[in-house]
Amino acid sequence: MQLTRFFAVFAVMVSLPLRAFAAAPAPPDGAAIDAEVARLMAATNAQGLAVAVVDAGQVVHVSAHGRRNAAGEPLLTDTVMYGASLTKAVFGYCVMQLVDEGLLDLDRPLARYLSKPLPDGAEAPESARWRQLADDSRWRQLTARMLLTHSGGFANFAWLEPDRKLRMHFDPGTRYAYSGEGLLLLQFVLERGLGLDVGAEMQRRVFDPLDMERTSLRWRDDFRPNLADGWTMEGKLVPHDERSKVRVAGSMDTTIADMARMAAAYVNGIGLSLASAAALTSPQLPITTASQFPTLQAELPPGQRRADLAAGLGVVTFDGPQGRGFYKGGHDDSTGNTWLCVKASKRCVVILANDVRAEAAFPALVRFILGETGAPWRWEYGGLRFVD
């Protein structure tokens, strides 16, 4: 079966209704949410956490708790925080606008957008790693859909390879393996093949229309007066990294107020055709591993896989008691973020934490606000010990 047809057939099959879904519970009020956040922060020793809630497609709650730096200055709803890999989901939204305008075809080989072969067209130092694919012709099979579904065949990043060299570990499109490298390759093709300034496109297409005034893929000096540093698992303070390069795999700075607007736009399909909005958060490729990391772990035997877990276009999709949901996480040594939505009720929770210890509270906080969603927390966080 051709890969394009595989993606289409898979999406249709898993979209078929299998059971009646439970009615979504009403979200708790703001005071109850604030109290639960305080309880969970104390349980995890997290120093800062911000949360937003979307109900019926509308932002109904935005709050920030704790401190943003060692001086004890408060974390605010307009404090700039590191978005980490939530960047990937926002990038997917922008890519689907390009698809709607006919500038990009998700299933056209990316090689056709380039004026010369990928290994020969990577003159810039930050793109030199593409030359390491010169002896593997499979790069010519890569499509935007494959890279957005993390099925390009790459490790998460080339520098994680034993020899720090980029390689393809499996045939493109055949399985899921999380890869920031794949998203960077798609960025390269948009810039070199379509002549786009991806940072400027994200600003024009996403941040400006949604009034995300304190969000950017590149560091801005006006962020500095109200900026969040972070805390590691060991409680060590880490200064905010001023990222000067646009990297769609994870260079976004943002605020909880801005991400609330983003979540509402996503779940409502604002700025997209009906088809593109549906594709963005619909199953595109089965996920066949026990956890998200390590990236290149062996696939589970078919009988042990979670049948409803799949890659969307920059997000992960799942089915639960309230119907289909999607989510995206974001993480580094001092950052823990999550963004989860239930499609039928258009309800979402966004959590930005400038303390990675807060991740242990994410399942409990999302469940408190949305009820049981069936989110794949164990797949996302592996052996992390959650608090109740």
Per-residue model confidence as pLDDT tens digits over 199-232: 999 999 999 999 999 999 999 999 999 999 999 9
When computed from its CA atoms, the radius of gyration of the chain, rounded to whole angstroms, is 20
Six-digit token pair at 168? 């393809």
- Confidence check: pLDDT of 8 > 80: no
Residue 24 has what pLDDT?
Answer: 74
Confidence of residue 122 (pLDDT cuts 50, 70, 90): low
Distance of CA 177 to the CA centre of its chain: 14
Confidence of residue 289 (pLDDT cuts 50, 70, 90): very high
Six-digit token pair at 51? 């949360």
**H-state helical runs in 77-197:** 86-100, 144-148, 180-193
> How many C-beta atoms lie closer than 10 Å to residue 101's C-beta?
10
Confidence of residue 6 (pLDDT cuts 50, 70, 90): very low
The residues, any chain, with a CB within 8 Å of residue 354's CB and separated by 6 or more, are 47, 48, 49, 68, 75, 81, 82, 228, 229, 230, 231, 334, 335
3-state secondary structure (DSSP) of residue 279: helix
CB 242 within 8 A of CB 80: no
* φ and ψ at residue 347, rounded to 5 degrees: -110, 135
Residue 126 has what pLDDT?
Answer: 66
Quote the longest CA-to-CA distance of the chain.
Answer: 59
Six-digit token pair at 309? 């877990």
Of 25-34, 74-83, 309-318, the poorest mean pLDDT is in: 25-34
- Confidence check: pLDDT of 13 > 70: no
Residue 20 has what pLDDT?
Answer: 60
> How many C-beta atoms lie closer than 10 Å to residue 244's C-beta?
8
- Confidence check: pLDDT of 4 > 50: no
> How many C-beta atoms lie closer than 10 Å to residue 218's C-beta?
17
- Indicate the CATH number for domain 3-16+69-318: 3.40.710.10
- The percentage of the chain sitting over the pLDDT mark of 90, rounded to a whole number, equals 90
Six-digit token pair at 74? 């408060």
Confidence of residue 162 (pLDDT cuts 50, 70, 90): very high
Strands 285-286 and 316-320: unpaired
Please report, for the chain, how many H helices and E strands are present, in that order: 10, 12
- Averaged confidence pLDDT in the chain: 94
Q: Which residue type is seen at 152?
A: G
CA distance 51 to 257: 9
Of 99-103, 129-133, 270-274, 336-340, the poorest mean pLDDT is in: 129-133
Residue 23 has what pLDDT?
Answer: 73
Average pLDDT over residues 163-177: 97
- Confidence check: pLDDT of 127 > 90: no
